[in-house]
Amino acid sequence: MSEIVTADQHVFIDLPEQLEADLIDLLLPPWELDGSFLAQSTMERYRTELTATPLFRETAATLRHALTEEGGGYAVLRLGILAKALGADDGRFLRLATAFAAEVAVPFSPFPRWPLWKDIGVKVDKDPGKSSGIGYNAFHMDLVNGTRPPDYTTLLCVRPDPLGGGRSILSDAHAAVARLSEDSRALLAESAYSYGTFFDLFDVGEEYKPFPILDDSNPSEEFVRFTAKMLERSELGQAHAEAARELAEELVRGQVSFILQPGDYLIVNQRRFLHGREALHSRQETVPVSDRRLLLQLFLRARADDGSAA
């Protein structure tokens, strides 16, 4: 495991005190869905309500800039004061988080069996490498085997690991690729990779199998279709496996990490960054289920006119 490198402070976006006070008093209506997407009428209502609040426009612009500027690709919106005042899993707080997400792209759920926000708790008997497991969750992009993966994946922290583990890790996928040899990049651009199952999903395209890790049609803006789990759970030839392993090592070498605090809202541009999680602290079985780490996940689809839609 690499040395811990903390993220640059500019990716952590604090809300101005006056905006926090105004949002605590704001009553947004419950959202409506249009299929698996947040309804346009809900997004328009939320924007109307929020843009009438002083300093909201500037904060939303800062968030979008952090996610799309050159060298950027993720941000943590600090909503802890709102979470404490309203309750991190309260409907009013979730509507505010959803409204911020809608300023970035269109919220949606690719899982028909889940609501808009999906719980990611801790299960001690789960595969340790899974999102709800207790072990190291290696670098990956979500829904890697769909032809149209979510453009953004987001994680809202309700509770961190009370024992102090579970640091979030992120790495610039394109920077990692740039450090590889030409031969390795050529192998990664071949349709030789596969991972996972594909069923009961909405609005992520068709199953992509096999797929290239690199799409050379527009390398700087395309997904780096990678999950380190393919190294153990896919049948790969030696050369393709070695190239993917080299990429995994570069991702770790370039990673940053931090612990999400209650109310922290991590938004990741999947066209630029891959994410994962360090192992939770040992002895999770001693922590009551109601006190264990809990995140809420929401996916976003870029609007067709913003230049990053698939």
Of residues 9 and 146, more confidently modeled: 146
* Angle in degrees, CA 305, 42, 93, rounded to 5: 110
Per-residue DSSP letter, 85:
H
The answer to whether 76 and 266 are in contact (CB under 8 A) is yes
Show the tokens assigned to 208: 């992509």
Domain limits of the chain?
9-301
At 147, list the tokens.
């032809």
Per-residue tokens: 16:
């101005």
Residue 3: pLDDT band with limits 50, 70, 90: very low
- Could you read off the pLDDT of 175-220 as tens digits, one per residue? 999 999 999 999 999 999 999 889 889 999 999 999 999 986 555 5
- Name the band, by pLDDT with cuts 50, 70 and 90, for residue 9: low
- CA distance linking residue 50 with residue 22, whole number of Å: 9
| Cα-trace Rg, the chain | 19
> Which pLDDT score, from 0 to 100, does residue 292 have?
97
**Who's near 16: CB < 8 A, 6+ residues apart?**
55, 59
Of 99, 96, 111, 107, nearest in space to 33 by CA: 107
Separation between Cα atoms, residue 117 and residue 208, nearest integer Å: 25
Q: At the topology level of CATH, where does 9-301 sit?
A: Double-stranded beta-helix (3.60.130)
**Do the bridges between strand 37-38 and strand 118-120 make them parallel or antiparallel, or are there none, so unpaired?**
unpaired
Reported as a single tens digit per residue, the pLDDT across 223-280 is: 999 999 999 877 889 999 999 999 999 999 999 999 999 999 999 999 999 999 999 9
Give the whole-number percent of the chain exceeding pLDDT 90: 85
Assess whether the previous peptide bond of 212 is cis (omega < 30° from 0): no
| Arithmetic mean of pLDDT over the chain | 93
